[in-house]
């Protein structure tokens, strides 16, 4: 009798202890995992502080309900709320990350655009500098050419720049250059070498001694003599045009020996920098 009583007491105590121990609720376990994960996220306070606070509060309510032995449905309800708030918090963090990535992408895009514009501006600046340098060089070249023409005693006319080889003299009925022509031909060849696009129209002239036909042929040979001397100094023959003007364009009176000597001359017409002669300068009769 006494033994049965002890067994009954022990059984009742064990039943009571089991009945008072909190039961495990799967929803609550999941809620703990979710809330812990959100709490450990370094962006939680910055991006989802409200959701984190709500999830923790719901989790505390669920834990308290379980300890008090309240119905499992109440525990599950609070656990569900904790899980949902934790999930919303995670979504807030993802949204924050996405916005941050967009900002970074925009910043990178702006940086790339700025670099591109800077390069374009620098390229344009270099182009302007190069153009200015080219213009300056062309100006210097043109000024140098003008100085050289001045040294050759070329004069500006309606046919362009024209020089008369004053020391390039011919004897009567002769087409051979006198020795005094050498220095002038040298300077002229040097000018052509430094101004590769310039072409020359070389015109021969005579005095009135002899027939018109003879003088025309003689003047052509005199012009050709000058061209040959230039070619011998390396000037391409394609840059030279030769014509005999005969006695038709005197610059002095043929009645005196001095005037006839002046008329025995060669005039040289210079082309422009594009190799073109001005209107009025041609191999046709002017």
134-162, pLDDT tens digit by residue?
777 767 766 777 787 877 888 998 889 99
Q: Are residues 49 and 120 in the same domain?
A: yes
Identify whether residues 134 and 187 lie together within a single domain: no
In sign, the C-alpha dihedral spanning 264, 265, 266, 272 is: negative
**Same domain, yes or no, for 76 and 165?**
no
Total domain count, the chain: 2
CA distance 10 to 111: 79
The predicted model scores a pTM of 0.53
The mean of the pLDDT values for the chain is: 85
Buried b (16+ CB within 10 A) or exposed e, 135-146: eeeeeeeeeebe
- What pLDDT score does 173 carry? 81
Looking at the structure, tell me whether residues 127 and 157 fall in a common domain.
no
Q: Is 93 a member of any domain?
A: yes
Tens digits of per-residue pLDDT, 185-209? 999 999 999 999 999 999 999 999 8
Same domain for 128 and 167, yes or no, is no
Among candidates 284, 131, 168, 263, which has minimal Cα distance to 208?
Answer: 263
Residue 84: Cβ-neighbour burial (10 angstroms; 0-12, 13-18, 19+): middle
Q: How many CB atoms lie within 10 A of CB 68?
A: 10
Same domain for 30 and 85, yes or no, is yes
Q: Where are the beta strands (DSSP E) in 23-164?
A: 155-157, 160-164
Q: What share of the chain in percent tops pLDDT 90?
A: 56
The Cα–Cα gap between 42 and 100 comes to 15
Strands 200-205, 240-244: pairing kind: parallel
Does residue 113 lie within any of the structural domains? yes
Q: Is residue 140 part of a domain?
A: yes
Q: Based on the domain organization, do 122 and 187 belong to the same domain?
A: no
Specify whether 132 is located in the same domain as 180. no
In a domain? residue 177: yes
The mean-pLDDT minimum among 52-56, 174-178, 265-269 falls in: 174-178
Please identify, among 124, 144, 164, the residue that sits at the C-terminal boundary of a domain: 144
Q: Residue 49: name the closest of 13, 10, 82, 92 by CA.
A: 92
156, 244: one domain: yes
- The answer to whether residue 80 sits within a structural domain is yes
According to DSSP, the β-strands at 265-270 and 240-244 are unpaired
Beta strands in 159-239 (DSSP E): 160-164, 200-205
Distance CA 237, CA 51 (A): 95
Cβ–Cβ under 8 Å, residues 247 and 222: no
Query: Is-contact 62 31, C-beta < 8 A?
Result: yes
Question: Does 34 lie in the same domain as 127?
Answer: yes
pLDDT value, residue 223: 95
Of 144, 172, 187, the one marking the end of a domain is: 144
Instruction: Name the residue among 267, 179, 187, 175 with its Cα closest to residue 217.
Output: 175
Residue 221 lies in a domain: yes
State mean pLDDT over 76-87: 94
Question: What's the pLDDT score for residue 281?
Answer: 59
- CB distance 230 to 192 below 8 Å: yes
Tell me if 217 sits within 8 A of 244, measured CB to CB: yes
Residues 106 and 161 in one domain: no
In whole angstroms, what is the distance from residue 225 CA to residue 223 CA? Answer: 5
What pLDDT score does 170 carry? Answer: 73
- Domain-terminating residue out of 119, 144, 169: 144
2, part of any domain: no
Task: Name the residue range of residue 57's domain.
Answer: 21-144
Q: Which residue is listed with tokens 């702006």?
A: 110
**How far from chain centre, in Å, is Cα 195?**
30
Q: Identify whether residues 229 and 263 lie together within a single domain.
A: yes
Structural domain contains residue 3: no
CATH number for 253: 3.30.1330.60
The alpha carbon torsion through 70, 76, 78, 83 (nearest 10 deg) reads 160
């Amino acid at each position: 009798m006494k033994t049965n009583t002890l067994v009954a007491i022990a059984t009742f105590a064990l039943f009571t202890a089991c009945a008072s121990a909190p039961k495990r609720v799967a929803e609550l376990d999941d809620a703990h995992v979710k809330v812990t994960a959100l709490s450990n996220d370094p962006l939680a306070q910055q991006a989802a502080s409200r959701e984190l606070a709500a999830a923790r509060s719901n989790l505390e309510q669920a834990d308290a309900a379980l300890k008090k032995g309240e119905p499992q449905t109440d525990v599950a309800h609070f656990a569900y709320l904790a899980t949902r708030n934790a999930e919303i918090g995670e979504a807030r963090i993802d949204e924050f990350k996405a916005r941050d990535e967009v900002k970074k992408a925009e910043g990178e895009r702006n940086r790339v655009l700025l670099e591109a514009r800077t390069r374009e501006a620098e390229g344009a600046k270099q182009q302007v500098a190069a153009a200015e340098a080219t213009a300056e060089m062309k100006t210097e070249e043109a000024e140098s050419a003008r100085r050289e023409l001045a040294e050759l005693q070329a004069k500006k006319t309606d046919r362009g720049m024209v020089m008369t080889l004053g020391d390039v003299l011919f004897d009567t009925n002769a087409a051979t250059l006198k020795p005094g022509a050498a220095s002038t031909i040298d300077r002229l060849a040097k000018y052509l070498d430094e101004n590769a696009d310039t072409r020359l129209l070389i015109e021969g002239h005579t005095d009135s001694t002899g027939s018109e036909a003879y003088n025309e042929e003689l003047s052509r040979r005199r012009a050709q003599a000058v061209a040959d001397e230039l070619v011998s100094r390396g000037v391409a023959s394609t840059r030279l045009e030769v014509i005999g003007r005969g006695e038709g364009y005197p610059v002095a009176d043929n009645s005196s020996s001095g005037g006839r000597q002046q008329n025995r001359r060669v005039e040289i017409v210079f082309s422009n920098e594009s190799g073109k002669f001005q209107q009025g300068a041609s191999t046709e009769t002017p």
